[in-house]
Structure 1
């Protein structure tokens, strides 16, 4: 299915007055991927202190993503044909309908409206705008390159925080790398760095004909591993490991085996380097041993030695399941988890998460969500929403894994990162819009528009 408006002649073929009226925004209209790239980079803009419990947070990246959607609307109004497959229309439409039904049947429809609008932005409008913005290989390189640049910026800040002990508090020491995001969004930097690492690795395979560029990208990949390690973000570590594995296996199984050896060697170096850095700064147990302890804590929820952030997360999952049990069909409504949390949570659940460091004093951050996207959808939108989102994610995943071409591995790796991370996190925070961009990339790869009865396979040719 192709959605289009009547044909309008290209700017060059229009009268002089029409060409003049087209000039002010012609650059962005011809290359809207520039706005998609700006959306990624603007994530790095510090937001300062904020009320995490506020109903709405609007960041510079959100404004840029809104501009991208607006440009798409203007483009359609000017007569450009927007290719959208029947599958994409049905899948994204189902997500919208499920959210609307959940909002109407919510325990507090007025409060749920803002949550519904946010979900439509993140899971429908921005992904479709990114899909439409990807018109050629330059567009894809712009988007992936922006992921790399944003990761290098945040990674450099995060590495400096760890080495100079100016990061967020971890085991009582200010060594946790959080980039420009601060202690109220400690997961954000690790996500940005992970996306950049995957994008750099994927681009290095695409650009193999350009030896110098490939080497620069591989060097960037190696560098980004360090700030990712000292972010002490278990979910990002696991998701990155899965994403890299999928990327390499899809690109070349033999290459994946070679990289497995490189990865093991890099892990040894990182453990040693982080241990040396922490010890040199006076830290004890926060380096390589701290990373190993952080990983092992995932399964420890009792016995007196448990990591309370882990036990709290599992209790939040139980809370989400209990809320869903009371509202099985359409859920309690978007953004209703926090309202119902205390009445459904186990008694041992903490009242909040302690944060400090990185330029901020001690703060107690409320637990506003279950930290699992799938359970959040289940509790907020019931089986209706869970089915809509689950189908969308599954179709995107299978489509990305099936698609061939040089761009396929990196898109599949990024999507796998998001889907794995959703097991341990949900949307929220400054970097949420990056999830939208990745879903747009995945839709571009997995759901090509029908042309003459056949799917159009996205292609990206490597160039020197």
Structure 2
């Protein structure tokens, strides 16, 4: 009696499909006024974490080593004390759940659901696809003057996120652009490289139209790091592509007066800052002042708005004006310093900053070590390494100008999960099988008399 090969079925589906669904849900429009709370993508991310837990329990596996447990669980050591002494208490509990979702649970779940490089690439391409969709909506908003208000005109591209999350489209498009460049630099198949390069060129247009200076700077730094890590030959090729993209952008007429003024304002943030920059500097100073009052533990999770006025100078305005993209005029309150490091320092103290930033730096070191092993072994899987390193560098730089909040935040958690898989679980990166859950190993030889052609008697 011969054994039949396993038939294809649901068990053959990629376990990262729930994460792909999380990314896909971010393509849905956000209703005006609903940008601050949890959305469908956040709910589905919790379901993805639950699927991961059930899968591990059924397989009775312990895939994380001691180092991975420490790096992924390090933020908990600071989050719990900061939540306990937060005022009001319910805000502390809400903040604890949000931080655990973004920096612990979802990243760990995504990393554990990825079986190999094929799953990693599937998620990377899903980021590119989402960036393409949001970018297309953003370009349409710019062309038709239906975007968010900027200098009296509704030309700012915000995608489906609306004015309540003006940084959402810029973040999504940046993730897609960095992923596309990493896939282009690391793939050896010509067709894949051409598609990835075309996507990167296309995504550069909506990124410019987002008018987000922080996203521009973070993307420039991340792409530079990817070029340096990819090698000189690939760097020359991509520089040529970037120059071609600059010509394309100019030909499309993107270099308009508002865009040029926005680019020029990057060099004037110290000499002649606009009101948004002044507000940001004032809130940065307020966060540092909160830290000085409570250097070790901070003022508590989600407590920055409660202590802001007591520590901010009179230069701080009452809020920022938002209008357009289907929303009426409203005054948006300034509830965070728009700097993740200073937000953590003010609310969680030095303990929180060391735990969170220390975990991120550990991920970066492990990701770079994995990239070095990949290059030494022939470069197979280099695209995954470049995508992971690029996404992490982008996020660490962007955190200087932004913090968590809004519907797009769950995508930050997904990206941390991609980085965590490469840094902590890919192991012998180039030796990891495309679909295996552990590094590929040669199957042991069958014992004498136990061939697969006959059934073994009971």
Instruction: Say whether the fold is shared (TM-score over 0.5).
Output: yes
Q: Cα deviations across residues 180-222 of structure 1 (Å, max 9, x unaligned)? A: 111111110011111111112222334432x333222211111
- Post-superposition shift, 1:39? 1.0
- Aligned residue number for residue 10 of structure 2: 27
Relative to structure 1, the CA distance from residue 313 to residue 365 in structure 2 (aligned partners, 3 Å threshold; closer, same or farther) is: same
Unaligned 5+ runs, structure 1 = 1-11, 14-22, 276-286, 450-454
3-state SS of the aligned residue for 2:235?
Answer: helix
Instruction: Identify the match of residue 43 of structure 2 among 63, 73, 81.
Output: 63
Find the aligned partners of 1:225 and 1:315 in 2 and give their Cα distance: 31
The alignment's C-alpha RMSD in Å is 2.5
Find the aligned partners of 1:51 and 1:43 in 2 and give their Cα distance: 13
- Aligned residue number for residue 406 of structure 2: 429
- Aligned residue number for residue 3 of structure 1: none
Count of paired positions: 421
Which segment drifts farther, 249-258 or 413-422? 249-258
Instruction: Identify the match of residue 49 of structure 1 among 7, 16, 32.
Output: 32
1:213 aligns with 2:192: yes
- Post-superposition shift, 1:252? 1.9
Find the aligned partners of 1:352 and 1:96 in 2 and give their Cα distance: 32
- Compare relative contact order (CA 8 Å, sep 6+) and give the higher one, 1 or 2: 2
Point out 4+ residue stretches in structure 1 off by more than 6 angstroms.
460-463
8 Å CA contact retained: 2:134, 2:173:
yes
Find the aligned partners of 2:287 and 2:226 in 1 and give their Cα distance: 32
- Aligned residue number for residue 155 of structure 1: 135
3-state SS of the aligned residue for 1:355?
Answer: strand
Relative to structure 1, the CA distance from residue 351 to residue 459 in structure 2 (aligned partners, 3 Å threshold; closer, same or farther) is: farther
- Aligned residue number for residue 199 of structure 1: 179
Find the aligned partners of 1:427 and 1:458 in 2 and give their Cα distance: 33
3-state SS of the aligned residue for 1:356?
Answer: strand
Relative to structure 1, the CA distance from residue 334 to residue 459 in structure 2 (aligned partners, 3 Å threshold; closer, same or farther) is: farther
8 Å CA contact retained: 1:230, 1:274:
no
Relative to structure 1, the CA distance from residue 335 to residue 29 in structure 2 (aligned partners, 3 Å threshold; closer, same or farther) is: farther
3-state SS of the aligned residue for 1:447?
Answer: helix
3-state SS of the aligned residue for 1:403?
Answer: helix
Relative to structure 1, the CA distance from residue 461 to residue 247 in structure 2 (aligned partners, 3 Å threshold; closer, same or farther) is: farther
3-state SS of the aligned residue for 2:335?
Answer: coil
Q: Cα deviations across residues 284-305 of structure 1 (Å, max 9, x unaligned)? A: xxx44432321332353577x5
Instruction: Identify the match of residue 365 of structure 2 among 395, 398, 408.
Output: 398
Instruction: Identify the match of residue 397 of structure 2 among 420, 423, 426.
Output: 420
3-state SS of the aligned residue for 1:180?
Answer: helix
3-state SS of the aligned residue for 1:369?
Answer: coil
8 Å CA contact retained: 2:226, 2:389:
yes
TM-score by length of 2: 0.86
Correspondence 1:121-270 to 2 at 5 A: 121-209=101-189, 211-270=190-249
Which segment drifts farther, 293-302 or 191-200? 293-302
- Aligned residue number for residue 278 of structure 1: none
TM-score by length of 1: 0.85
Find the aligned partners of 1:271 and 1:132 in 2 and give their Cα distance: 43
